[in-house]
Amino acid sequence: MFRLDEHLKVYLHRAPVDFRLNINGLAALVQQALGLDPFAACVYVFSNRRRDRVKVLGWDRNGFWLLLKRLEEDRFIWPSETAVPTLTVEQLHWLLEGIDIGVVQRHPQRMYQHAG
């Protein structure tokens, strides 16, 4: 599977998009609909209406790259919150693997003073 740097910021576009949009159309959508900079060091994730395809748009120093994943029989489980969320790269990988990130919870990180 394709892996991204764990420190990369990931933005999820909530509404489905027309998958005929290419790099220029998605970059314009990032700028106009999300109010974000398409040239920033982060990735933007889009899905179609049927939720069987995902496109990931990113800028890398001197050009855009576009990653597409199409499921043959399944559907992606898309979070339903209203705000534009930021995900961790790990959550993006979970989303691409079909895991419902809305119900996954980690144990809280604990900070201890001493061991004994």
| CA-wise closest residue to 69 among 51, 91, 42, 85 | 51
Could you report the per-residue pLDDT of 29-42, keeping only the tens digit for each?
Answer: 999 988 999 999 89
Q: Is this model's pTM higher than 0.85 or not? A: no
The single-letter code of the amino acid at 66 is L
Q: What are phi and psi of 71, to 5 degrees?
A: -90, 140
46-105 confidence digits (pLDDT tens) = 999 999 999 999 998 889 999 999 999 988 888 776 555 788 888 888 888 888 877 776
The mean pLDDT value of the chain amounts to: 85
